[in-house]
Amino acid sequence: MSDGSREGVLEGLRKTGVTALFFGRLLGACVPALGRPRLIIAQIYNAGARSLIIIMLSGLFTGMVLGLQGYDLLHRFGATSALGTAAALSLLKELGPVLTALLFAGRAGTALTSEIGLMRATDQLTAMEVMAVDPLRHVAAPRFLGGLIALPLLTAIFIVVGLFGAQLVGVQMMGVDRGIFWSQMQSAIALKDVTEGVVKSVAFGAVLSLIAVNEGYHADPTAEGVGRATTRTVVASSVMTLLLDYVLTAAFL
Amino acid sequence: MADSQSTLNSAAETDAVIDVRGVHYAVDGRPIFAGLDVRVPRGLITAVMGPSGTGKTTLLRLVTGQIYADRGQVAVFGREVADMGRAELYATRRRMGMLFQNGALLTDLDVFENVAFPVREHTNLPEPLIRTLVLTKLEAVGLRGAAQLMPAELSGGMARRVALARAIVMDPEVLIYDEPFVGLDPISLGVILRLIKQMNDALGITSVVVSHDVHEIATIADHSYLISDGRVVASGSPAELAASDSPTVRQFMTGGAEGPVRFHYPAADYATELLGAERR
């Protein structure tokens, strides 16, 4: 192994270690942070409610495309009655959790990282420490918990709106029977399918919030440093979402 | 004068709120402090002066336990900072207030909530009492009328005054000012100077002012340290420093570019580089 690649591996390991340690401290800070629900609710609003429009719009169009593509595919086999099941399965198990996570990384993750990074750059975190207030408990933990709670909720909304979009195209435009669309879906979807979506969205919520908070907390306290940290949040979140999605899908099969 | 000086010195020996002895500290192998000794006596205004980049802010971070010395002792209220556990360190920090250079106000809270922040975090006082407390402190810095403004709406001088109100809201025993005069207009500067003096006179707060504004600080400081190259090169009352014949002190007090403290960053010979063929 060349010196360069060995250093790269060591640096990667070091960063993983730092993140793991930070995660441990963050979890420790979450317990006292639960005693301040007002801070957490504010962050659920920031990460969740403020992402609603982009999530609902994306969900609607994703569902509509599913309706079109699904109808086109199933029509070739004369199986358009399975459109509801196909749309629901893809939304519940894959598209809902994954697309919501990717949108969350771009909308809420970047906002979290740059906000915490700028707090670091303007000495706000240091000021808290000097005032004997733990910034991990007051700033990082509520944002982590807010993201962790908001992402599964956003995923559920994405799926519901997506199903509405698929129905809009499949039933209203393409003429699939409304009763068959919903009843096939109802009978074919098992609890396990819903569980898979829930587990994925909770896992994405934890990992993406951790990445965003960690990058912001450890950003270089300069304009350039905060910019770089924000970019790293998007890149790491996207890659981790897709990687974790594969692992979890394999685990559920 | 000699009498008051010796009283001061004995007070410094016996009742030092902050006691820094023989501190060595390096960042990435580059020494910041090499045997620094600074003592801050109770109830007085102590100035720490020095050229930019001499680690004045690093000293404040050592004192507040954000970083630890490589060698030497940093004691606050008679206790070694490095020996404190987290709980004791936080308890010690509650007895200190610090004014940051840029104010470091929390940008998501308005002026009132910024000043109320430490009170809400550390006490369970009823809301009317918090309100009275915060308004009193805001009145002291002349910004009671700005209570509902957000930090982004404040000028630099106002932000620093709000930060000062926040620093004194828990009635600290020690107030640390990090470059309180930088970038202030003459009026704000005069106000901040008077406030520092008033806090000290009226409330008996021990003050540490880190600054390189020699003339401003000379008007209020009881005792000054001049730091250069990682150690104290001179200390004494402002009058003593002004009368000093040490070349370093003279250069700093008169603002000369030539002297023991280098103004130019190390570089190749000027003429050679100007006439030289290529830039490295």
- DSSP codes of every residue in A67-130: HHHHHHHHHHTT-GGGHHHHHHHHIIIIIHHHHHHHHHIIIIIHHHHHHHHHHHHTTHHHHHHH
Q: How far apart are CA A85 and CA B259, in angstroms?
A: 83
Question: Looking at residue B15, what is its pLDDT?
Answer: 80
Handedness of CA B145, B150, B152, B156 (dihedral sign): positive
Q: Report yes or no: B116 at the A interface, CB cutoff 8 Å.
A: no
Nearest to B160 by CA among B206, B209, B122, B225: B209
Residue of A nearest to B166 (CA): A131
Q: Choose the closest CB to A132 out of B93, B100, B102.
A: B93
Identify from A118, A130, A133 which residue to disrupt to test chain B contact, counting B C-beta atoms within 10 A and taking the largest count.
Answer: A130
pLDDT of residue B113: 94
| Complete edge-to-edge strand list for the sheet that includes strand B79-80 | B30-41, B16-27, B71-76, B79-80
Q: Considering its fold, how many domains does chain B have in total?
A: 1
List, as ranges, residues 162-191 from B with C-beta within 8 Å of A: 166
**What is the domain-level CATH number for residue B82?**
3.40.50.300
- Distance of alpha carbon B43 from alpha carbon B15, whole angstroms: 10
Please count the residue pairs, one from chain A and one from chain B, whose beta carbons lie less than 8 angstroms apart.
49
Range of the domain at A197: 3-252
Contacts of A178 (CB under 8 A, 6+ apart): A167, A171
Tokens of B86: 């987290």
Longest pairwise C-alpha distance within chain A: 70
For B209, the enclosing helix (H) or strand (E) is: strand B206-210
pLDDT confidence of residue B11: 44
Bridge partners, B19 (sequence order)? B39, B75
From chain B, pick out residues whose CB is under 8 angstroms from the CB of A124. Answer: 104-107
Check pLDDT > 80 for residue A18.
Answer: yes
Compute the average pLDDT of residues A69-74. 94
Is residue A64 scored above 50 in pLDDT?
yes
Quote the strand ranges of A37-130, DSSP E: none
Q: How far, in Å, are A25, A38, A59, B199 from residue A119 at the CA level?
A: 19, 20, 33, 28
B98/A contact by beta carbon, under 8 A: yes
Which of the 8 DSSP states describes residue B244?
-
Q: Please state, in angstroms and rounded to a whole number, the distance separating the CA atoms of residues A90 and A84.
A: 10
In a domain, B114, yes or no: no
CA of B36 to nearest chain A CA: how many angstroms apart? Answer: 22
SS3 B224: strand
Kindly list the averaged pLDDT for each block of 10 residues, start to end, along chain B of length 280.
Answer: 45 72 88 88 89 81 89 90 89 90 89 93 92 92 91 88 91 90 83 86 88 83 87 85 79 74 78 73
- Could you read off the pLDDT of A110-119 as tens digits, one per residue? 999 999 999 9
Is B11 in the A-facing interface, judged by CB distances under 8 Å?
no
Rounded to an integer, the average pLDDT of A39-58 is: 94
Dihedral over Cα of A28, A30, A31, A36: its sign = positive
Q: Could you tell me if A133 and B121 are in contact, meaning their C-beta atoms sit under 8 angstroms apart?
A: yes
pLDDT at A237: 96
CB B68 within 8 A of CB B76: no
Asked, for residue B125, whether it belongs to a domain, the answer is no
Could you tell me which residues are beta bridge partners of residue B18?
A: B40, B76
pLDDT surpassing 70 at residue A105: yes
**Domain, as residue range, for B45:** 3-95+172-279
Distance CA A92, CA A242 (A): 16
DSSP character at residue B234: E
The pLDDT tens digits of the residues spanning A163-219 come to 999 999 999 999 999 999 999 999 999 999 999 999 999 999 999 999 999 999 999
**Amino acid A3: pLDDT:** 77
Determine the Cα–Cα distance for residues B8 and B17; give it in Å rounded to an integer. Answer: 13
Q: CB-CB: which of B64, B100, B166 is closest to A123?
A: B100
- Residue in B with minimal Cα distance to A36: B121
pTM above 0.95, yes or no: no
Residue type, B277: A
Q: How many domains is chain A partitioned into structurally? A: 1
- Kind of pairing between the strands at B30-41 and B16-27: antiparallel
What is d(CA A71, CA A83) in angstroms, rounded to the nearest whole number? 6
DSSP assignment letter at B101: T
